[in-house]
Amino acid sequence: MKKIGLILTLIIILPIAFLLYNEFEKLSKDEKVLEEIYNNQLQAILFSVNQYSEDVVRAAVNDIISGIESAKDQKSENDILNSIVNNNRKFSFIFIADSLEDNHLKFFFRNDFKISNPDSSDLSFKRVLLRHKDQIHKLYDYRNQGYRKIEPIDLDSSADQALLIFTGTNKHPGRIYGVVINPREFITEILSPRLQEVAKNEFIISVINPLTGYQYNSTKDFDKKPIQAQKPLWIFPDYNLGISLVGKSVQDLVQERAEDSFILIGILFIVLIAAVWFVYSAVNKELELAKAKADFVSNVSHELRTPLSLISMFAETLEMDRVKTEEKKKEYYSIISRESNRLGKIVNSILNFSKMEAGKRKFNFAEEDLNEIVIQIYQNYSYHLYNKGFDFEYEPGINIPKVMADREAVSEAVVNLIDNSVKYSTENKFIKITIGSEDRFVFIEISDKGIGISEKDQGKVFDKFYRVTSGLIHTTKGTGLGLTLVKQIMDAHKGRIILKSKSGEGSSFKLMFPSGS
């Protein structure tokens, strides 16, 4: 059984271990593939939004350059720039510096834009330009090569404004131009429709300022969402573009799939455990049954051999006329008769058991008085038991109802229990039969003061071929069918058996017959 248990355990562990390893590997690969696909898609969406923002700003800058190029004089240029800044909600104001050394900048404010200290604007923006002179020199280089680049510059004058600069036009190649934009206005008024168009109902695209905690979502019905991918918004360096799925993230989906897989593996594990336990129990039961059958064959062989040997020996002695006295002949005839009866009982027990196992035993049910059946048994066994030194008592039932029973089968059950009491009694030789009624049952109780049955064996003593493997019960010979036959007879009568026993203090078997009243 240890080998079988080890094999069955391996049957569970190996497939489960393989499934877990395979599932972990598969989940890891799937997660990497999904993450890569997902991130590529998110990055493409974010690039699209970033490109749109740049295109909007570049178009506005082209309007400024076109206006300046078309101006006939300074007044005309100023009018054009004032018109552009007031008609374009993208800009808070525009400024112009003739060069990095220019100490007097020109500003063109939107009419509704309020600046806290206009007089300090020149000095403030002059410091900004000087702080970023290296970037401005690079812009000149780009311009000289025929490419106009727009560069975002950090502003220290206000946290809610952003500065974009570019250099030179054909008319004024040395100039520095700057446009100041309010990021939040740009996001809500210019960028918002584009965000909603790209996001649709599949994504939430957000614009976030990590420093201030500002977050604008493409879908207003949603609160702040965990961002799964983000990249800087080019025109506003302090802001990031972020994107997340509506509902569950890829990580959530992978985690959910992993949980489902592990639940299935868990169910499979439980099913395998149940199956292995069933197989183990079945094999163990079959092995126990095989051992019990082997013991049964050995016990029956011994039980049959003993009476047959005695019958053969005493018959041969009588046949050879070696017995000279009539008294001795009667003794030998008595032994032959007793052993023949014993042999007949063994054979009848085996035949009755075989019939009941095959479902071929027929019962003749009739209304019977259990007192009458037990009185007959008591009368037949009293002399025999008294000779063996037993106190044999009988307590009849008073006014008990009749029951539907097979007289012969009930007698067989009671006799089997009496025989067991005789076999398993030592110094305290006492047997009592009691008849009574309780809870719509009429009972026959056979009790003794023998060696008793341990608690662990009480649930098995009615199993076929089972015999207790320790103490006097083991050494006392028998077929192991007696209590099984009693159980089968009571089942046929739709009754039950109540066993009360304690090691060293005796046993009580109560046969409960339904009275029908």
Looking at the chain, which residues constitute the CATH 3.30.565.10 domain(s)?
A: 362-514
* Residue 505 phi, psi dihedral angles, 5° rounding: -120, 0
Please state, in angstroms and rounded to a whole number, the distance separating the CA atoms of residues 89 and 67: 17
Contact 368, 329 (CB under 8 A): no
The three-state secondary structure class of 279 is helix
**Looking at residue 157, what is its pLDDT?**
46
Contact 239, 207 (CB under 8 A): yes
Please state, in angstroms and rounded to a whole number, the distance separating the CA atoms of residues 380 and 375: 9
Tokens of 456: 């662990």
**Looking at residue 21, what is its pLDDT?**
65
Q: How many residues does the chain have?
A: 517
pTM above 0.75, yes or no: no
Distances (CA, A) of 488 to 11, 45, 293, 412: 38, 80, 18, 11
Q: Which residues, in sequence order, are CB contacts of 346 under 8 Å at separation 6+?
A: 300, 303, 304, 307, 479
- Please count the other Cβ atoms lying within 10 Å of the Cβ belonging to residue 423: 15
Find, among 202, 242, 209, 250, the residue nearest to 226 by Cα: 242
Contact 363, 373 (CB under 8 A): no
**Looking at residue 462, what is its pLDDT?**
81
- Parallel, antiparallel, or unpaired: how do β-strands 441-448 and 506-514 relate? antiparallel
- Parallel, antiparallel, or unpaired: how do β-strands 93-97 and 106-109 relate? antiparallel
- Please count the other Cβ atoms lying within 10 Å of the Cβ belonging to residue 508: 18
Give the largest Cα separation in the chain, rounded.
167
Tokens of 67: 């206006």
Contact 503, 441 (CB under 8 A): no
* Residue 510 phi, psi dihedral angles, 5° rounding: -110, 115
Distances (CA, A) of 418 to 249, 252, 377, 421, 508: 77, 73, 10, 5, 11
Contact 162, 152 (CB under 8 A): yes
Quote the DSSP letter at residue 187.
Answer: I
Average pLDDT per 10 consecutive residues for the chain, totaling 517 residues: 62 66 63 66 79 87 88 89 85 86 84 66 78 87 84 67 79 87 87 84 82 81 63 85 71 68 73 74 73 63 70 82 81 81 74 68 88 90 86 91 91 89 88 91 93 83 68 52 85 91 90 84
* Residue 120 phi, psi dihedral angles, 5° rounding: -90, 0
Contact 424, 417 (CB under 8 A): no
Specify the residue for token string 């569950």: 248
Architecture of domain 362-514: 2-Layer Sandwich (3.30)
